[in-house]
Chain A
Amino acid sequence: MRRSDVNDPTVFVVDDDAAIRDALSLLISLKGLRSAVFATAEDFLNTYCADWRGCLLTDLQMPGMQGLELQRTLAERAIALPVVILTAHGDVATTREALKNGALDFLEKPVDDDVLVDVLRNAIHVDEKRHRAADEHMQALERFARLTPREQAVLQLLADGLQHRDIAERLKISPRTVEVYKSRMMEKLQLRTLADVVRFGSGAPHSTN
């Protein structure tokens, strides 16, 4: 895997069976997705980097570290990669355990290619959505940090639903000054309407009170 490709969404396949690994990665790449294969759970964990995107497709029954254990280790290391389980028919108890532990979905062997691609795309989509949400949150935090303490306070109180007059009274400034802070704050945060302000404010960290 080339280093530059690392941030593109990839399906990480973990299976002890070489043929299954090979066939799945071929099929996945033909369906237009990137894939990377690992023979054991340990291999995957040793190679893993924090900026990997995509999803994990793992077998349950493997020599050495089993699928469930891998899932547990991921949780311990706070790796939020969505997990799709490859399961043999009838392995109910383990599948149930995996789903309880937060696996996104499971695929039954042998896998139909359309189902496979649907599930994997969905998993990648979930991963992307989560990353996008995390990114937006980060940006909001950055922009919020650019506000002065007064602007932050005005934003907070507006989000709590207070009128300009009440805010002025609470902050012991004139309503006119509140207007100034508000327009400067909205400019910095690139917010257009009051509704945007309330939405941003309720998501923002409560630095005061």
Chain B
Amino acid sequence: MNRAALTLSSSARSWLRIHDYRFGLPIAGLYFLAYVLVDALSYVQPVLRLDICPWNPETALTLAFLLAVGPRGLPLTALAAFTAEGLVHGMPAPWWALLVASVWIACGYTALALIMRRWGLPHPIESPAQAMRLAGAVMLTSFAVAVGYVTLVTLGGALPRSLAIGAIARYWVGDVIGILTLVPLLMYADRWRSGLRALRRGLPIAALQLGVVALTMWLIFGLNQSDQVRFFYLLFVPVIWITLRWGVPGAILSALAIQIGVIIAVQHDMHAPELVDLQFLLLTLSLTALLLGAVVTQRADALQRVATSEAEQRALLATAPDAVLTVSSRGWLCSANPEAQRLFGIDPLIGRERALQDLLPSFELLSAHGRAAIDGRRIDGSGFPAEIAWARLEAPATAEYLVIVRDVTERRRAEVQLRERERALSDAMRFAVAGELASALAHELNQPITALVSYLQACGILAAPLAAQDTRLALTLGKATHEAHRAAEVLRRLRDFYRNGAIKREPVQLSALCRAIVTAFHERLQCNAITLAVKLPAVLPSLQSDVTQLEIILHNLLANAIDAVCQQPVDRRRIELSVDSSTTAVMVRVRDAGPGIAAEVAHKLFEPFVTTKMDGMGLGLAISRSLLRAQGGDLLYEPDASDAGACFIVHLPLDPKAQARKVARIMSCGEAT
């Protein structure tokens, strides 16, 4: 028999329902013994020695066993019932009738157990509907079992037909009350710890309630009077009291206690009335208590849920980073969370009524919900940019609208800063491009102008013999030479304008700069699934440089690296940005695992208009090197032997001023020569 899997509902809570318990001989024996024993104990006021009693707790035992082990328990329950007939009741009917009856009982309660499991029972009863359903199923099944049993023993000749109807009623009420007082108790079996804790807290009242029940029982049975049944209704008062205080468990326990009390009273008190009458009363009492208990439990659960939800919402509002306001239909503030009080400067202690109009002057709640970017105004009159969202609240809420306000001052400022930074960068980039273009253009044009000047001067010499005939020739050649020199001068000035553009020297936080650039590329890196490793040393010597130019240079190098690795398979899309330093310089390396640079391009890599890209101008590297050299640094290319990628090194001297002075000195020497 496998320990398996008749898992019936995902809302499984009770140990009874988790799975079909494997049951071996010990469990089977235990059930068997308990059944026979309980049957013997509750063999009270039977009809003609038949097992037709007004209280059958052993039926509850059978049902609990079947709920735990499933339909496999059927033969054993039939055997137990049959054995009890023999041992306890002494075979009051023909054996075949009792055997069939036992099987009938087992089948009936197996069916009930299956139905209960289908409903997800047994687990603690949470609503009156569940309680009704349980009670209804138990009553119907017990009725079928009772009718079958009584019919069989009547057919067996053990019971006169005249007594059959009464026997059915007696049998039925016995089973129903047996099941309803014991089975719900099993549903709470795995909660006994929390139950005990609760009981400990309310021990005095529980004792008092028990006392009242005992007193009432004594009133009913102890006064030795006739017609006690009338007093039985007194029990409703303590039972309802207990149920209101303790919910379903209280109802079950009080019903069980009264049941046991009634049995004891009936057993020992000769004045006790017919038990079956009492049992019908007790059944009414138990059912009333069970339903009331279910209502109480449901209400307690609902209150608990509301309290939890309210506490969560309070915490949510208190910690929300946005201002949350509720507004009445006439535009008055109903509530403001702590952030709203802080943002608008509302003092919660000054209980002045405020209109939403005061806080959001240009805003009117017209639509059911929406979002907008408008200006907010604090109580002190100062304004701030805000983003708001609003929604009309559903009927039970007292406020008409919920308005959420977010202060976006910081974000706006950051956006403006970012835009300014981008503009500065693109300005600098344009300037650098123009400079490089001017430089390249000047170089290319200077060559023919040089030839031109020399040719013109040669012409001047050649024309010297003719000067006597016409002085205009020499004059014109002189003018032409002058103009060519002027053209060269224009080019020189153009290049000087860009070349000698003031280089700012400011302290550079290289690590921060690298991080900022990496952040700027974040999206492109992610889109192309590129891994960028940034290796920054903990300590870097302080560096004086032009931040914008450095940014342009690193921007260029990273953009190149990204273009290079984008054509690679995903596992080779790697770029490494590392910084290290010596005593004289700081080196920034941008290494990529791209295809590398062909040898025929490598030697002229830094010349303007040399590019390997389809849409490239070929100025990026040229500009970067020019900018670095103007600062006294340099840009170098290092083919990566191991990884067949490319590595560019930005070389930044630690004392660029000294470097610049050296250049200036050499220049002045050169010109003096």
* A residues whose Cβ falls under 8 Å from a Cβ of B: 17, 19-20, 22-24, 26-27, 30-31, 61, 88-90, 92-93, 95-96, 99-100, 105-106, 109-113
Contacts and interface: CB of A to CB of B under 8 A. Distances in A.
B629 interface: yes
Given A96-B670, A99-B666, A110-B488, A88 B457 contact: no
Most chain B beta-carbon contacts within 10 A, residue among A17, A92, A106 = A92
B492 A89 contact: yes
Interface in B426-480: 439, 442-443, 446-455, 457-458, 460-462
A179 to B, nearest CB: 52
Contacts of A110: 446, 449-450, 452-454, 484-485, 488
Contact of B443 (A88, A100, A111): A88
B455 A26 contact: yes
28 contacts: A19-B447, A19-B448, A20-B451, A22-B451, A23-B451, A23-B454, A23-B455, A26-B458, A27-B454, A27-B457, A61-B443, A89-B491, A92-B663, A92-B667, A92-B670, A93-B629, A95-B670, A96-B670, A99-B666, A109-B450, A110-B446, A110-B449, A110-B454, A110-B485, A110-B488, A112-B457, A113-B454, A113-B460
Contacts of A112: 453, 457, 485
B499 interface: yes
A178 to B, nearest CB: 50
B673 interface: yes
A90 B663 CA distance: 12
Contacts of A89: 442, 446, 491-492, 495
A89 B443 CA distance: 8
A31 B464 CA distance: 12
Contacts of A105: 673
B666 A96 contact: yes
A54 to B, nearest CB: 19
Contacts of A90: 439, 492, 495-496, 499
A30 B454 contact: no
Contacts, number: 88
B270 interface: no
Contacts of B496: 90
Contacts of B442: 89
Contacts of A95: 670
A99 B446 contact: no
A109 B488 CA distance: 9
Contacts of B368: none
Given A89-B492, A93-B629, A23 B484 contact: no
B423 to A, nearest CB: 29
Given A19-B448, A30-B462, A99-B673, A92 B453 contact: no
B673 A30 contact: no
Given A96-B667, A96-B670, A110-B450, 13 more contacts: A27-B454, A61-B443, A88-B443, A88-B446, A90-B495, A92-B670, A93-B663, A96-B666, A99-B669, A106-B670, A110-B454, A110-B488, A113-B454
Contacts of B666: 92, 96, 99-100
Given A95-B670, A96-B666, A99-B670, A24 B454 contact: yes
Contacts of A92: 663, 666-667, 670
Contacts of B495: 89-90
A196 B90 CA distance: 166
A77 to B, nearest CB: 24
A119 to B, nearest CB: 10
Contacts of B448: 19
Contacts of A20: 447, 450-451, 454
Most A CB atoms within 10 A — which of B452, B454, B496, B663?
B454
A96 B447 contact: no
Nearest to A29: B458
A105 B443 CA distance: 21
A89 B439 CA distance: 10
Task: List the 4 closest A-B pairs by CB distance, nearest first.
Answer: A23-B454, A19-B451, A96-B666, A110-B453
A90 to B, nearest CB: 6
A184 to B, nearest CB: 49
B590 to A, nearest CB: 24
A27 B458 contact: yes
A105 B669 CA distance: 11
A189 B448 CA distance: 57
A26 to B, nearest CB: 5
B458 A30 contact: yes
Contacts of B670: 92, 95-96, 99, 106
B19 to A, nearest CB: 86
Interface in B653-668: 663, 666-667
A166 to B, nearest CB: 49
Contacts of B484: 110
A111 B454 contact: yes
A22 B495 CA distance: 27
Contact of A111 (B453, B462, B669, B673): B453
Interface in B310-324: none
A112 B447 CA distance: 14
B629 A109 contact: no
A33 to B, nearest CB: 12
B480 to A, nearest CB: 12
A110 B458 CA distance: 14
Given A110-B484, A111-B453, A23 B492 contact: no
Contacts of A24: 454
Contacts of B673: 99, 105-106
B492 to A, nearest CB: 5
Contacts of B447: 17, 19-20, 109
A115 B585 CA distance: 41
A20 B454 CA distance: 8
B667 A23 contact: no
A105 B449 CA distance: 21
Nearest to A107: B450
B663 A96 contact: yes
